[in-house]
Amino acid sequence: QVQLVESGGGLVQPGGSLRLSCVASGRSDSIIAMAWYRQAPGKQREFIAGVHLGGITNYADSVKGRFTISRDNAKNTVALQMNSLKPEDTAVYYCNTYPPQKWGYTWGQGTQVTVSS
């Protein structure tokens, strides 16, 4: 099993920015596509951004143009740069494989992002 640990969340005003990071402990694989997901209060977890082995990215329409996903294959880390944050971005953010839960990559605790004035 691979433990995923997310960090970088916090409280930010609308229009602000945050950078989230995800690091794997235990066995990890640089050949697996990775993604970010989020779960808002009262809603199901949703896909927001993914990055493939060749660097090709995919974004949900709700975050396209505002969020940027990146990865460091050598270090097996993935980051999410979030700009122009909106109150509707408030959620717990998770990283995982793309598609999720492959090859022993379990859900971590996530990191809370709250966008409010």
Q: Give per-residue pLDDT as tens, 12-42.
A: 999 999 999 999 887 666 678 999 999 999 9
pLDDT value for 73: 72
Give 113 or 29, the one with higher predicted confidence: 113
Residue 61: CB atoms within 10 Å: 7
pLDDT value for 24: 86
From residue 49, alpha-carbon distances to 65, 78, 117 in Å are 11, 11, 25
Average pLDDT over residues 50-67: 95
* DSSP β-bridge partners for residue 112: 92
